[in-house]
Amino acid sequence: MCLAIPGRVTETFAKGGMRMGRVQFGGVTREACLEYVPETQPGDYVLVHVGFAISRVNEEEARRTYQALLELDQLTELDVPEVLEPGASGHGGSA
Amino acid sequence: MKYLDEYRDGKIASRIVEEIRRIQTRPWVIMEVCGGQTHSIVKNGVDYLLPRGIELVHGPGCPVCVTPLEMIDKAHAIARRPDVIFCSFGDMLRVPGSEGDLFTIKSEGGDVRIVYSPLDCLKIARANPDKKVVFFAVGFETTAPANAMLVSRAKQDGVHNVSILVSHVLVPPSIAAILQSPQNRVQGFLGPGHVCAIMGYREYEPMSARFKVPIVITGFEPLDILQGTLMVVRQLEEGRAEVENEYSRILDREGNRPAQKLVASVFEIADRKWRGVGSIPKSGYKLRWEYRDYDAEKIFSVKEIDTREPEICISGRILRGIKKPHDCPAFGTICTPQHPLGATMVSAEGACAAYYAYGRHLESKREELEAMASLGGAA
Protein backbone atom coordinates (compact mmCIF):
# COMPACT_ATOMS: atom_id res chain seq x y z
CA MET A 1 0.00 0.00 0.00
CA CYS A 2 2.91 2.34 0.61
CA LEU A 3 4.53 2.05 -2.80
CA ALA A 4 4.07 4.97 -5.16
CA ILE A 5 3.75 4.44 -8.91
CA PRO A 6 5.70 6.55 -11.45
CA GLY A 7 3.90 8.11 -14.40
CA ARG A 8 4.18 10.91 -16.95
CA VAL A 9 2.22 14.13 -16.48
CA THR A 10 0.29 14.81 -19.67
CA GLU A 11 -1.57 17.96 -18.60
CA THR A 12 -2.00 20.21 -15.58
CA PHE A 13 -5.06 22.21 -14.55
CA ALA A 14 -6.78 23.80 -11.56
CA LYS A 15 -9.81 22.08 -10.06
CA GLY A 16 -11.65 22.36 -6.76
CA GLY A 17 -9.04 24.78 -5.43
CA MET A 18 -6.20 22.35 -6.16
CA ARG A 19 -3.49 22.04 -8.77
CA MET A 20 -4.28 18.80 -10.57
CA GLY A 21 -2.90 16.87 -13.50
CA ARG A 22 -3.47 13.84 -15.68
CA VAL A 23 -0.79 11.24 -15.30
CA GLN A 24 -0.17 8.37 -17.67
CA PHE A 25 0.85 4.98 -16.25
CA GLY A 26 1.47 2.46 -19.02
CA GLY A 27 -1.84 2.41 -20.90
CA VAL A 28 -3.91 4.02 -18.14
CA THR A 29 -4.32 7.70 -17.31
CA ARG A 30 -5.43 8.98 -13.94
CA GLU A 31 -6.17 12.29 -12.35
CA ALA A 32 -3.59 13.20 -9.71
CA CYS A 33 -3.32 16.02 -7.22
CA LEU A 34 -0.13 18.06 -7.77
CA GLU A 35 -0.36 20.22 -4.64
CA TYR A 36 2.61 18.45 -3.04
CA VAL A 37 4.91 18.89 -6.06
CA PRO A 38 3.66 22.30 -7.22
CA GLU A 39 6.50 22.88 -9.68
CA THR A 40 5.39 19.92 -11.84
CA GLN A 41 4.91 20.61 -15.55
CA PRO A 42 3.46 18.53 -18.40
CA GLY A 43 6.10 16.07 -19.60
CA ASP A 44 7.54 15.59 -16.09
CA TYR A 45 7.62 12.17 -14.45
CA VAL A 46 6.22 11.93 -10.92
CA LEU A 47 5.73 9.25 -8.29
CA VAL A 48 2.01 9.03 -7.53
CA HIS A 49 0.59 7.51 -4.36
CA VAL A 50 -3.21 7.08 -4.04
CA GLY A 51 -3.88 9.94 -6.44
CA PHE A 52 -1.20 12.32 -5.13
CA ALA A 53 2.13 13.14 -6.76
CA ILE A 54 4.71 12.99 -3.96
CA SER A 55 8.04 13.34 -5.78
CA ARG A 56 9.49 14.07 -9.21
CA VAL A 57 11.71 11.46 -10.86
CA ASN A 58 13.66 11.25 -14.10
CA GLU A 59 12.38 9.25 -17.06
CA GLU A 60 14.80 6.36 -16.65
CA GLU A 61 13.99 5.98 -12.96
CA ALA A 62 10.28 6.13 -13.78
CA ARG A 63 10.54 3.30 -16.33
CA ARG A 64 12.65 1.17 -14.05
CA THR A 65 10.38 1.60 -11.02
CA TYR A 66 7.25 0.98 -13.09
CA GLN A 67 8.72 -2.28 -14.39
CA ALA A 68 9.71 -3.35 -10.86
CA LEU A 69 6.16 -2.67 -9.59
CA LEU A 70 4.70 -4.58 -12.54
CA GLU A 71 6.86 -7.60 -11.66
CA LEU A 72 5.75 -7.35 -8.03
CA ASP A 73 2.08 -7.22 -9.06
CA GLN A 74 1.81 -3.86 -7.27
CA LEU A 75 -0.12 -1.95 -9.96
CA THR A 76 -3.56 -3.33 -9.18
CA GLU A 77 -4.74 -0.05 -7.60
CA LEU A 78 -4.76 1.37 -11.14
CA ASP A 79 -7.54 -1.12 -11.99
CA VAL A 80 -9.98 0.64 -9.68
CA PRO A 81 -12.45 2.63 -11.83
CA GLU A 82 -12.19 6.41 -11.62
CA VAL A 83 -15.01 8.15 -9.76
CA LEU A 84 -16.70 10.72 -11.97
CA GLU A 85 -17.65 14.21 -10.86
CA PRO A 86 -21.34 14.47 -9.95
CA GLY A 87 -23.23 15.31 -13.14
CA ALA A 88 -20.32 14.42 -15.42
CA SER A 89 -21.03 12.08 -18.30
CA GLY A 90 -18.88 9.73 -20.32
CA HIS A 91 -15.89 7.82 -19.06
CA GLY A 92 -12.89 9.79 -17.97
CA GLY A 93 -10.97 6.75 -16.85
CA SER A 94 -8.63 4.52 -18.72
CA ALA A 95 -7.52 5.51 -22.16
CA MET B 1 12.64 -17.29 -6.83
CA LYS B 2 15.24 -15.88 -9.19
CA TYR B 3 18.86 -16.81 -9.63
CA LEU B 4 21.48 -14.14 -9.69
CA ASP B 5 22.00 -14.22 -13.44
CA GLU B 6 18.26 -13.69 -14.00
CA TYR B 7 18.28 -10.27 -12.39
CA ARG B 8 18.12 -7.43 -14.85
CA ASP B 9 21.34 -6.23 -13.32
CA GLY B 10 22.80 -9.60 -12.47
CA LYS B 11 26.41 -8.49 -12.63
CA ILE B 12 25.83 -5.58 -10.25
CA ALA B 13 23.91 -7.88 -7.90
CA SER B 14 26.80 -10.37 -7.95
CA ARG B 15 29.30 -7.65 -7.17
CA ILE B 16 27.24 -6.38 -4.21
CA VAL B 17 26.82 -9.88 -2.80
CA GLU B 18 30.57 -10.52 -3.20
CA GLU B 19 31.37 -7.29 -1.40
CA ILE B 20 29.09 -8.24 1.52
CA ARG B 21 30.82 -11.62 1.66
CA ARG B 22 34.25 -9.94 1.60
CA ILE B 23 33.63 -7.53 4.48
CA GLN B 24 31.46 -9.73 6.69
CA THR B 25 33.24 -11.16 9.74
CA ARG B 26 30.28 -12.36 11.84
CA PRO B 27 26.50 -12.94 11.63
CA TRP B 28 24.17 -9.93 11.53
CA VAL B 29 20.40 -9.58 11.79
CA ILE B 30 18.90 -6.84 9.61
CA MET B 31 15.23 -5.85 9.44
CA GLU B 32 13.52 -4.43 6.39
CA VAL B 33 10.74 -2.22 7.68
CA CYS B 34 8.46 -1.78 4.69
CA GLY B 35 5.96 -4.41 3.54
CA GLY B 36 6.77 -3.58 -0.10
CA GLN B 37 10.39 -4.49 0.61
CA THR B 38 9.30 -7.74 2.31
CA HIS B 39 7.22 -8.67 -0.72
CA SER B 40 10.13 -7.92 -3.07
CA ILE B 41 12.64 -9.87 -0.95
CA VAL B 42 10.46 -12.95 -0.74
CA LYS B 43 9.30 -12.85 -4.37
CA ASN B 44 12.83 -12.37 -5.72
CA GLY B 45 14.56 -14.57 -3.14
CA VAL B 46 16.92 -11.73 -2.22
CA ASP B 47 17.51 -13.25 1.23
CA TYR B 48 18.70 -16.49 -0.39
CA LEU B 49 21.33 -14.58 -2.35
CA LEU B 50 22.92 -13.10 0.76
CA PRO B 51 25.84 -14.84 2.42
CA ARG B 52 24.95 -17.19 5.25
CA GLY B 53 24.95 -15.27 8.48
CA ILE B 54 23.23 -12.21 7.04
CA GLU B 55 19.66 -12.72 8.16
CA LEU B 56 16.84 -10.50 6.92
CA VAL B 57 13.87 -10.34 9.28
CA HIS B 58 10.61 -8.75 8.30
CA GLY B 59 9.26 -5.68 10.00
CA PRO B 60 5.91 -4.15 10.90
CA GLY B 61 5.56 -1.96 7.80
CA CYS B 62 2.36 -3.36 6.36
CA PRO B 63 -0.50 -1.01 7.25
CA VAL B 64 -3.21 -3.54 6.43
CA CYS B 65 -1.53 -6.06 8.72
CA VAL B 66 -1.12 -3.82 11.76
CA THR B 67 -4.61 -2.29 11.71
CA PRO B 68 -6.08 -3.64 14.97
CA LEU B 69 -8.97 -6.04 14.88
CA GLU B 70 -11.04 -3.62 17.00
CA MET B 71 -10.65 -1.01 14.26
CA ILE B 72 -11.63 -3.51 11.55
CA ASP B 73 -14.73 -4.34 13.58
CA LYS B 74 -15.53 -0.64 13.99
CA ALA B 75 -15.19 -0.19 10.24
CA HIS B 76 -17.58 -3.09 9.69
CA ALA B 77 -20.13 -1.72 12.17
CA ILE B 78 -20.12 1.63 10.34
CA ALA B 79 -20.19 0.00 6.87
CA ARG B 80 -23.31 -1.98 7.83
CA ARG B 81 -25.33 1.17 8.47
CA PRO B 82 -27.92 1.90 5.76
CA ASP B 83 -27.15 5.64 5.79
CA VAL B 84 -23.45 5.09 5.04
CA ILE B 85 -21.34 4.74 1.90
CA PHE B 86 -18.15 3.13 3.18
CA CYS B 87 -15.05 3.74 1.04
CA SER B 88 -11.72 1.98 1.31
CA PHE B 89 -8.59 1.00 -0.56
CA GLY B 90 -9.10 -2.42 -2.09
CA ASP B 91 -6.70 -4.29 0.17
CA MET B 92 -8.78 -3.66 3.31
CA LEU B 93 -11.87 -5.42 1.90
CA ARG B 94 -10.61 -8.95 2.39
CA VAL B 95 -9.35 -8.45 5.95
CA PRO B 96 -11.55 -10.51 8.27
CA GLY B 97 -13.02 -8.92 11.36
CA SER B 98 -14.69 -10.81 14.17
CA GLU B 99 -17.61 -11.47 11.79
CA GLY B 100 -16.85 -11.56 8.08
CA ASP B 101 -15.14 -8.91 5.96
CA LEU B 102 -16.16 -5.84 3.95
CA PHE B 103 -16.87 -8.03 0.91
CA THR B 104 -19.42 -9.93 3.00
CA ILE B 105 -21.03 -6.67 4.09
CA LYS B 106 -21.16 -5.53 0.46
CA SER B 107 -22.76 -8.81 -0.63
CA GLU B 108 -25.36 -8.39 2.13
CA GLY B 109 -26.37 -5.00 0.71
CA GLY B 110 -23.95 -2.62 2.40
CA ASP B 111 -22.74 0.22 0.20
CA VAL B 112 -19.00 -0.52 0.28
CA ARG B 113 -16.86 1.03 -2.45
CA ILE B 114 -13.23 0.60 -3.41
CA VAL B 115 -11.63 3.92 -4.24
CA TYR B 116 -8.34 4.72 -5.92
CA SER B 117 -7.78 7.96 -4.04
CA PRO B 118 -9.20 9.48 -0.84
CA LEU B 119 -10.22 12.49 -2.97
CA ASP B 120 -12.76 10.23 -4.72
CA CYS B 121 -14.74 10.37 -1.46
CA LEU B 122 -15.35 14.09 -1.98
CA LYS B 123 -16.95 13.38 -5.36
CA ILE B 124 -19.01 10.54 -3.88
CA ALA B 125 -20.13 12.78 -1.00
CA ARG B 126 -21.23 15.54 -3.37
CA ALA B 127 -23.14 13.06 -5.53
CA ASN B 128 -24.89 11.53 -2.50
CA PRO B 129 -25.90 14.41 -0.21
CA ASP B 130 -28.38 12.21 1.67
CA LYS B 131 -25.66 9.70 2.65
CA LYS B 132 -22.73 9.80 5.03
CA VAL B 133 -19.51 8.94 3.21
CA VAL B 134 -16.82 7.37 5.40
CA PHE B 135 -13.26 6.68 4.28
CA PHE B 136 -11.16 4.06 6.05
CA ALA B 137 -7.95 6.08 6.53
CA VAL B 138 -5.40 3.34 7.03
CA GLY B 139 -1.72 3.67 6.31
CA PHE B 140 1.73 4.91 7.17
CA GLU B 141 3.25 8.34 6.53
CA THR B 142 3.05 7.84 2.74
CA THR B 143 -0.76 7.84 2.78
CA ALA B 144 -1.28 10.57 5.40
CA PRO B 145 -0.91 13.53 2.99
CA ALA B 146 -3.71 12.14 0.80
CA ASN B 147 -6.04 11.68 3.77
CA ALA B 148 -5.10 15.09 5.16
CA MET B 149 -6.01 16.69 1.82
CA LEU B 150 -9.42 14.96 1.80
CA VAL B 151 -10.31 16.38 5.20
CA SER B 152 -8.80 19.79 4.53
CA ARG B 153 -10.70 20.16 1.23
CA ALA B 154 -13.94 18.88 2.76
CA LYS B 155 -13.73 21.56 5.45
CA GLN B 156 -12.77 24.35 3.05
CA ASP B 157 -15.48 23.38 0.57
CA GLY B 158 -18.15 22.88 3.23
CA VAL B 159 -18.73 19.21 2.40
CA HIS B 160 -20.21 17.96 5.67
CA ASN B 161 -21.28 14.43 4.78
CA VAL B 162 -17.77 12.99 4.60
CA SER B 163 -15.60 11.69 7.43
CA ILE B 164 -12.60 9.43 7.95
CA LEU B 165 -12.05 6.47 10.26
CA VAL B 166 -8.43 7.06 11.23
CA SER B 167 -6.02 4.20 11.81
CA HIS B 168 -2.77 5.92 10.90
CA VAL B 169 0.54 4.56 12.11
CA LEU B 170 4.11 5.87 12.00
CA VAL B 171 7.35 4.05 11.27
CA PRO B 172 9.91 5.59 13.69
CA PRO B 173 7.99 4.74 16.93
CA SER B 174 7.61 1.14 15.74
CA ILE B 175 11.38 0.88 15.17
CA ALA B 176 11.96 2.33 18.65
CA ALA B 177 9.53 -0.21 20.14
CA ILE B 178 11.40 -3.07 18.45
CA LEU B 179 14.77 -1.79 19.71
CA GLN B 180 13.48 -1.35 23.27
CA SER B 181 12.19 -4.91 23.49
CA PRO B 182 14.38 -7.15 25.71
CA GLN B 183 13.98 -9.89 23.08
CA ASN B 184 15.25 -7.69 20.26
CA ARG B 185 17.61 -9.36 17.76
CA VAL B 186 17.71 -6.62 15.12
CA GLN B 187 21.10 -4.92 14.67
CA GLY B 188 20.43 -2.77 11.62
CA PHE B 189 17.49 -1.51 9.56
CA LEU B 190 16.60 -1.00 5.93
CA GLY B 191 14.39 2.09 6.28
CA PRO B 192 11.24 2.60 4.20
CA GLY B 193 11.88 4.48 0.96
CA HIS B 194 8.49 5.85 0.02
CA VAL B 195 7.62 6.76 3.62
CA CYS B 196 10.79 8.87 3.67
CA ALA B 197 9.90 10.42 0.30
CA ILE B 198 7.25 12.21 2.38
CA MET B 199 8.94 12.57 5.76
CA GLY B 200 12.64 12.73 4.86
CA TYR B 201 14.94 10.99 7.31
CA ARG B 202 15.86 13.60 9.90
CA GLU B 203 13.68 11.94 12.53
CA TYR B 204 15.64 8.66 12.20
CA GLU B 205 18.92 10.32 13.17
CA PRO B 206 18.36 10.70 16.95
CA MET B 207 17.07 7.11 17.07
CA SER B 208 20.10 5.73 15.23
CA ALA B 209 22.39 7.60 17.63
CA ARG B 210 20.42 6.68 20.77
CA PHE B 211 20.22 2.95 20.03
CA LYS B 212 23.57 2.80 18.19
CA VAL B 213 21.91 1.14 15.22
CA PRO B 214 22.56 1.71 11.51
CA ILE B 215 19.50 2.73 9.48
CA VAL B 216 19.79 2.85 5.70
CA ILE B 217 16.81 4.31 3.85
CA THR B 218 16.32 1.86 0.99
CA GLY B 219 14.19 1.34 -2.12
CA PHE B 220 12.20 -1.79 -2.82
CA GLU B 221 13.84 -3.22 -5.95
CA PRO B 222 16.12 -6.25 -5.45
CA LEU B 223 19.24 -4.21 -6.25
CA ASP B 224 18.19 -1.51 -3.78
CA ILE B 225 17.74 -4.12 -1.07
CA LEU B 226 21.13 -5.70 -1.77
CA GLN B 227 22.82 -2.29 -1.83
CA GLY B 228 21.02 -1.19 1.39
CA THR B 229 22.07 -4.45 3.06
CA LEU B 230 25.69 -3.85 2.03
CA MET B 231 25.55 -0.33 3.50
CA VAL B 232 24.14 -1.65 6.80
CA VAL B 233 26.71 -4.48 6.99
CA ARG B 234 29.55 -2.03 6.25
CA GLN B 235 28.40 0.22 9.13
CA LEU B 236 28.07 -2.74 11.49
CA GLU B 237 31.50 -4.08 10.59
CA GLU B 238 33.09 -0.64 11.01
CA GLY B 239 31.28 -0.02 14.30
CA ARG B 240 29.33 2.95 12.92
CA ALA B 241 25.68 3.75 13.55
CA GLU B 242 24.34 6.38 11.18
CA VAL B 243 21.42 7.13 8.94
CA GLU B 244 22.40 6.73 5.30
CA ASN B 245 20.33 7.12 2.16
CA GLU B 246 20.50 4.38 -0.46
CA TYR B 247 17.47 5.86 -2.24
CA SER B 248 18.86 9.33 -3.00
CA ARG B 249 17.46 9.18 -6.55
CA ILE B 250 13.98 9.50 -4.99
CA LEU B 251 14.33 11.33 -1.69
CA ASP B 252 16.48 13.63 0.42
CA ARG B 253 16.87 14.35 4.13
CA GLU B 254 14.07 16.90 4.20
CA GLY B 255 11.32 14.96 2.42
CA ASN B 256 8.25 16.63 0.95
CA ARG B 257 7.71 19.87 2.89
CA PRO B 258 4.27 20.85 1.49
CA ALA B 259 2.96 17.37 2.38
CA GLN B 260 4.46 17.47 5.88
CA LYS B 261 2.90 20.89 6.44
CA LEU B 262 -0.63 19.84 5.54
CA VAL B 263 -0.37 16.59 7.51
CA ALA B 264 0.74 18.53 10.61
CA SER B 265 -2.18 20.93 10.26
CA VAL B 266 -4.80 18.16 10.04
CA PHE B 267 -3.38 15.40 12.28
CA GLU B 268 -1.65 15.25 15.64
CA ILE B 269 0.47 12.50 17.14
CA ALA B 270 -1.42 9.97 19.27
CA ASP B 271 -0.92 6.59 20.91
CA ARG B 272 -1.99 3.77 18.61
CA LYS B 273 -2.59 0.09 19.01
CA TRP B 274 -0.80 -2.16 16.47
CA ARG B 275 -2.29 -5.52 15.63
CA GLY B 276 -0.06 -8.28 16.97
CA VAL B 277 2.15 -5.82 18.87
CA GLY B 278 -0.16 -3.86 21.19
CA SER B 279 -0.21 -0.19 22.07
CA ILE B 280 2.84 1.90 21.13
CA PRO B 281 3.06 5.41 22.60
CA LYS B 282 2.89 8.30 20.12
CA SER B 283 2.92 5.87 17.21
CA GLY B 284 0.15 7.23 15.01
CA TYR B 285 -2.06 10.11 14.03
CA LYS B 286 -5.48 11.28 15.13
CA LEU B 287 -7.45 14.20 13.71
CA ARG B 288 -6.85 17.57 15.34
CA TRP B 289 -9.71 19.05 17.36
CA GLU B 290 -10.44 21.55 14.58
CA TYR B 291 -11.36 18.61 12.34
CA ARG B 292 -13.45 16.67 14.88
CA ASP B 293 -16.55 16.99 12.68
CA TYR B 294 -14.76 14.78 10.14
CA ASP B 295 -13.85 12.06 12.64
CA ALA B 296 -15.96 8.96 11.95
CA GLU B 297 -15.25 7.59 15.45
CA LYS B 298 -16.91 10.68 16.94
CA ILE B 299 -19.78 10.82 14.42
CA PHE B 300 -20.70 7.15 14.78
CA SER B 301 -20.22 6.42 18.46
CA VAL B 302 -19.36 2.79 17.90
CA LYS B 303 -18.96 1.07 21.24
CA GLU B 304 -15.60 -0.48 22.07
CA ILE B 305 -15.58 -3.97 20.64
CA ASP B 306 -13.96 -6.76 22.63
CA THR B 307 -11.81 -8.89 20.35
CA ARG B 308 -9.43 -11.75 20.88
CA GLU B 309 -6.69 -13.02 18.59
CA PRO B 310 -6.07 -16.78 18.27
CA GLU B 311 -3.52 -17.88 20.89
CA ILE B 312 -1.55 -19.98 18.41
CA CYS B 313 -0.72 -16.97 16.22
CA ILE B 314 2.83 -15.59 16.57
CA SER B 315 2.39 -12.62 14.24
CA GLY B 316 3.37 -10.17 16.98
CA ARG B 317 6.76 -11.79 17.31
CA ILE B 318 7.13 -11.98 13.53
CA LEU B 319 6.38 -8.24 13.23
CA ARG B 320 9.15 -7.53 15.75
CA GLY B 321 11.69 -9.73 13.98
CA ILE B 322 11.86 -12.32 16.77
CA LYS B 323 10.31 -15.16 14.74
CA LYS B 324 9.92 -16.15 11.09
CA PRO B 325 6.69 -17.47 9.52
CA HIS B 326 7.84 -21.10 9.49
CA ASP B 327 8.43 -20.99 13.24
CA CYS B 328 4.63 -21.05 13.56
CA PRO B 329 2.81 -24.41 13.64
CA ALA B 330 -0.28 -22.80 12.11
CA PHE B 331 1.59 -21.31 9.12
CA GLY B 332 0.35 -22.83 5.88
CA THR B 333 -1.74 -25.40 7.75
CA ILE B 334 -4.68 -23.82 9.55
CA CYS B 335 -3.52 -20.27 8.72
CA THR B 336 -3.53 -19.36 5.03
CA PRO B 337 -4.29 -16.19 3.04
CA GLN B 338 -7.84 -17.54 2.56
CA HIS B 339 -8.25 -18.07 6.32
CA PRO B 340 -5.74 -15.79 8.04
CA LEU B 341 -5.40 -16.12 11.82
CA GLY B 342 -3.38 -12.97 12.35
CA ALA B 343 -1.78 -9.77 11.20
CA THR B 344 1.02 -11.06 8.99
CA MET B 345 -1.24 -13.30 6.89
CA VAL B 346 -3.99 -10.76 6.09
CA SER B 347 -2.23 -8.81 3.33
CA ALA B 348 0.12 -9.70 0.48
CA GLU B 349 2.68 -7.38 2.08
CA GLY B 350 2.62 -9.31 5.34
CA ALA B 351 5.56 -11.66 5.91
CA CYS B 352 3.42 -14.80 6.31
CA ALA B 353 1.30 -14.10 3.22
CA ALA B 354 4.42 -13.36 1.16
CA TYR B 355 6.10 -16.58 2.33
CA TYR B 356 2.94 -18.51 1.51
CA ALA B 357 2.45 -16.91 -1.92
CA TYR B 358 5.98 -17.82 -2.98
CA GLY B 359 5.91 -21.38 -1.73
CA ARG B 360 7.97 -20.97 1.40
CA HIS B 361 5.56 -23.08 3.43
CA LEU B 362 7.28 -25.87 1.51
CA GLU B 363 10.49 -25.10 3.33
CA SER B 364 11.98 -28.48 2.59
CA LYS B 365 12.87 -26.77 -0.68
CA ARG B 366 14.95 -24.16 1.09
CA GLU B 367 18.30 -25.95 1.05
CA GLU B 368 17.79 -26.82 -2.60
CA LEU B 369 16.94 -23.22 -3.50
CA GLU B 370 19.88 -21.85 -1.59
CA ALA B 371 22.21 -24.23 -3.36
CA MET B 372 20.80 -23.23 -6.74
CA ALA B 373 21.05 -19.53 -5.89
CA SER B 374 24.71 -19.85 -4.98
CA LEU B 375 25.35 -21.77 -8.20
CA GLY B 376 23.60 -18.96 -10.08
CA GLY B 377 25.89 -16.49 -8.31
CA ALA B 378 28.96 -18.31 -9.51
CA ALA B 379 27.72 -18.44 -13.11
Would the CB atoms of A51 and B120 count as touching at under 8 Å?
A: yes
pLDDT at B143 over 60: yes
Tell me the mean pLDDT in the region B172-200.
95
* Percentage of residues in chain B having pLDDT higher than 90: 78
Q: What is the pLDDT of residues B236-279, one digit of tens each?
A: 999 999 999 999 999 999 999 999 999 999 999 999 999 888 89
Would the CB atoms of B127 and A86 count as touching at under 8 Å?
A: yes
Would the CB atoms of A85 and B349 count as touching at under 8 Å?
A: no
Which has the closest alpha carbon to B318: B338, B281, B346, B339? B346
Which has the closest alpha carbon to B354: B325, B314, B379? B325
pLDDT in the model for residue B114: 96
Closest in A16, A51, A61 to B249, CB measured = A61
The one-letter code for the residue type at A93 is G
pLDDT in the model for residue A36: 98
The strand order across the sheet containing B278-287 reads B111-114, B84-88, B132-139, B162-169, B278-287, B267-274
CA–CA dist B332, B341 (Å, integer): 11
- pLDDT band at B235, cuts 50/70/90? very high
Tell me the mean pLDDT in the region B101-123.
96
pLDDT in the model for residue B91: 86
Would the CB atoms of A50 and B89 count as touching at under 8 Å?
A: yes
pLDDT in the model for residue A93: 38
- pLDDT band at B178, cuts 50/70/90? very high
pLDDT in the model for residue B6: 52
pLDDT in the model for residue A80: 87
Question: Which residues lie closer than 8 Å to B320 by C-beta, 6 or more apart?
Answer: B60, B177, B178, B181, B183, B184, B277
Question: Which residues lie closer than 8 Å to B154 by C-beta, 6 or more apart?
Answer: B122, B125, B160, B162, B294
Q: Which residue has the higher pLDDT, A44 or B94?
A: A44
Would the CB atoms of B157 and A16 count as touching at under 8 Å?
A: yes
pLDDT in the model for residue A24: 96
Query: Touching check for A28 and chain B: CB below 8 Å?
Result: no
pLDDT at A17 over 80: yes
pLDDT at A9 over 70: yes
What phi and psi, each to the nearest 5 degrees, are found at residue B176?
-60, -40
pLDDT in the model for residue B22: 97
Sign of the four-CA dihedral B287, B309, B40, B31: positive
What phi and psi, each to the nearest 5 degrees, are found at residue A63?
-65, -45
Tell me the mean pLDDT in the region B42-69.
92
pLDDT at B303 over 90: no
Q: Which residue has the higher pLDDT, B153 or B342?
A: B153
* Percentage of residues in chain B having pLDDT higher than 70: 93
ipTM of the complex model: 0.88
Tell me the mean pLDDT in the region B323-344.
91
Query: Touching check for A93 and chain B: CB below 8 Å?
Result: no
CA–CA dist B72, B104 (Å, integer): 13
pLDDT at A92 over 60: no
pLDDT in the model for residue B75: 97
Closest in A17, A65, A77 to B116, CB measured = A77
How many angstroms separate the most distant Cα atoms in chain B? 66
Q: What is the pLDDT of residues A70-83, one digit of tens each?
A: 888 888 888 888 88
Q: What is the pLDDT of residues A36-60, one digit of tens each?
A: 999 999 999 999 999 999 999 999 9
Query: Touching check for A14 and chain B: CB below 8 Å?
Result: no
pLDDT at B1 over 80: no
pLDDT in the model for residue A77: 84
The strand order across the sheet containing B28-34 reads B54-61, B28-34, B188-192, B215-218, B243-245
CA–CA dist B220, A69 (Å, integer): 9
CA distance B221 to chain A (A): 6
Q: What is the pLDDT of residues B62-85, one digit of tens each?
A: 998 899 999 999 999 999 999 999
pLDDT at B299 over 80: yes
